[in-house]
Structure 1
């Protein structure tokens, strides 16, 4: 026999003990998946990345605008720091999007 061939003769019927063992193993794996909560499908990678990009596009400018507004109120420089921080938020958001899009997939 060659190295890569199974040790059984293909003309013989399948061993009942082997079929029983495979069935018990399948049942045990299904029970373990239910017990550990792995029965749900993992989220699609593209869906996860889309949510991340959307959060960067919305969150970074809003966060910058909020920080700029608070600093404007404290210093009395009304629209200028708000505008500067809003633009800085856009820059940071797009920089993060470019960074995650240039990363190699696993």
Structure 2
């Protein structure tokens, strides 16, 4: 019984929002730039160290220097990621 009322309320709210948006001419909202910046930061913090570690691992296997190149490039990947995060944080969200 409670689920039926909740579903009915959700449907009525969705219809009311659609009618109000049509009346005022408001288009569906795009995600804010801050959300996009957060996604870029997450990608940097995951991608740079992962890519650097993978390249280091491959070079270690090829040159037989395990695990030193992987560790060095992993540290370099973190440095690059945090530098890019700092640069992203200087951008002004709109």
**TM bracket, shorter-chain basis:** 0.5 to 0.7
Q: 80, 84, 87: which one pairs with 1:92? A: 80
CA displacement at 1:46 relative to structure 2: 1.4
- SS of the equivalent of 2:67 reads helix
Aligned counterparts of 2:77 and 2:86: Cα–Cα separation in 1: 14
Following superposition, which runs of at least 4 residues in structure 1 exceed 6 angstroms of deviation?
A: none
Per-residue Cα deviation, 1:50-79 (whole angstroms, up to 9, x for no partner): 111111111110010000000001000010
Aligned equivalent of 2:55: 67
Gaps of 5+ in 1: 1-29, 31-38
Alignment of 1:1-106 (within 5 A): 39-105=27-93
Per chain length, whose mean CA-contact separation is higher, i.e. which structure has more relative contact order (CA < 8 Å, sep 6+)? 2
Q: How many residues get paired?
A: 72
SS in 2 for 1:78: coil
More helix by percentage: 2
The alignment's TM-score, normalised by the length of structure 2, stands at 0.67
